[in-house]
Amino acid sequence: MSNNTQVITRFAPSPTGAAHAGSYRSAMFAWLYARHTGGKFVLRIEDTDTARNQDGSDTQILESLAWLGINYDELYYQSKAIERHQEIINELIAKGSAYVSTEPAKDGNGMKDVIRFRNPNKSVTVHDMIRGDVTVDTTDLGDFVIARTINEPVFHLANVIDDHDEGVTYVIRAEEHLANTPRQILIFEALGWEVPHYAHLPLVLGPDKLKLSKRRGALSMLTYRDKGYLPEAVLNCVALVGWNPGTEQEIFSREELIALFDLDRVQKGGAMFSEEKLNWFNREHIKRLSPEKIREYVLQYLPDRIKNFETYSEEKLTALIPILIERIATFGEVTTLAEAGELDFFFVTPTIDTALLSFKGIELSETKVHLQQVQNILEGISEESWTLDEIKEQVMKYADSLPKRGPALHPLRFSLSGREKSPDPFTISAFIGKTETLARISTTLSRI
């Protein structure tokens, strides 16, 4: 076991496609532990499997980490270490710890030389920081392959060499790699190298309680970025998948997570990640943004078609922002609402379909009476008193006097927005002003 006093962790993704929250949870935990202990965090792109590598995947990894605010101290590409891998393969063969085995090719096309590790067939104990000691009889592993050819080390060998050369002292990774660890410990011992500390994280599960995967809809980090999630919300949410600080607190800043994170409080069982929970975290983190930052995000996602309305103004944008914040979980939903026409009525008079004006089948003649009464009430509110609270108080007095509020409130809402679902009519009235409110009601009444 490594005696190096400095904590050096690593994240070692393969550039084989867009990784999801399950993969980046390993990066977060390794990064948080390094930062918590004042250590180093290494990023290693494991790009030696050229058949599976996808163009641009390494760039996606770098962009995702940068967006999340996970900064690394050193960056390595595994493909740059091929000569070093070959050197170690030859060393293992020379000392009798590995040998060349000529055997039928897996594709059935003749014979092929592979490099096998000479297994000492002994029990190996993995001192796992999360699961405790796990002892494995390695006899069942046989003489396992460590290189497909002298130039092609497999995962077990390449990881050992790279972790040693990069000074990694703590290997923090998903529990699916626990089965690989005994093989890697055997290789470390055969080379006379110190074995790092291991911590195997619980599985990240989706809402279906199965392992989170792209096949079942898991999204990439950059997709969350493009959908308008805040990186601090994603970091906060994913950090709590399988770890807790031992308190009831759920909302953490990046600095708080670094200060509190420790592997002692990582659970052994699988932990669930859901977009529903992420949405809650995102709403909470939006509330903690400065007004200036919220405005910046809204402007980023507000389509030009809204900004091009004749009545659009900075003043109206300022009034619209708190209304939007009440309705969205992500800033990307600003775009969604706008494209669905659900913001248009704040800036232009809607077209009213009188067939949808009445509440639950009430006759139009009765609806007209209620709407006229509301109009009279609103006319009695002065310009100086035209606020959301005053409008609501006066209209609700009438609505509450009826057997049901709907016959009065629904036609008012529909007259102002042209939609059955929208912010409440008091919010809309306060936003568009007294003159426009009364004009829209008059237009509706004239069509009944």
Pairing type for strands 40-45 and 197-201 reads: unpaired
Q: Please give the residue range of the domain that contains residue 281.
A: 214-287
Assigned token pair, 113: 């030389």
Supply the pLDDT for residue 213.
Answer: 82
Clarify whether residues 251 and 236 are in a common domain. Answer: yes
Contact 102, 62 (CB under 8 A): no
Instruction: Examine the residue annotation and report whether 434 is marked as an active-site residue of this protein.
Output: no
Which one from 112, 214, 277, 392 is the annotated catalytic residue? 214
Residue 32 within any structural domain of the chain: no
Which has the closest alpha carbon to 160: 187, 182, 137, 139? Answer: 187
Largest CA distance in the chain: 98
Residue 315 within any structural domain of the chain: yes
What mean pLDDT, rounded, does the chain reach? 94
The residue out of 287, 309, 333 marking a domain boundary is 287
pLDDT band at residue 335, thresholds of 50, 70 and 90? very high
pTM over 0.85: yes
Contact 31, 41 (CB under 8 A): yes
Residue 258 within any structural domain of the chain: yes
Residue 249 within any structural domain of the chain: yes
Which has the closest alpha carbon to 232: 268, 285, 196, 159? Answer: 285
Which has the closest alpha carbon to 269: 213, 217, 211? Answer: 211
- CATH number of the domain within which 271 lies: 1.10.1160.10
Residue 261 within any structural domain of the chain: yes
Clarify whether residues 240 and 317 are in a common domain. Answer: no
Say how many C-beta atoms besides its own lie within 10 A of residue 215's C-beta.
Answer: 8
Residue 191 within any structural domain of the chain: no
For 327, the 3-state DSSP assignment is helix
pLDDT per residue as tens digits for the range 50-84? 777 788 889 999 999 999 999 999 999 999 999 99
Clarify whether residues 266 and 316 are in a common domain. Answer: no
User: Helix-strand-coil percent breakdown of the chain, rounded to 5?
Assistant: 50, 15, 35
Assigned token pair, 291: 């007004």
- CATH number of the domain within which 369 lies: 1.10.10.350
Residue 266 within any structural domain of the chain: yes
> Among 12-21, 172-181, 232-241, 362-371, which stretch is predicted with the lowest mean pLDDT?
12-21
Residue 100 within any structural domain of the chain: no
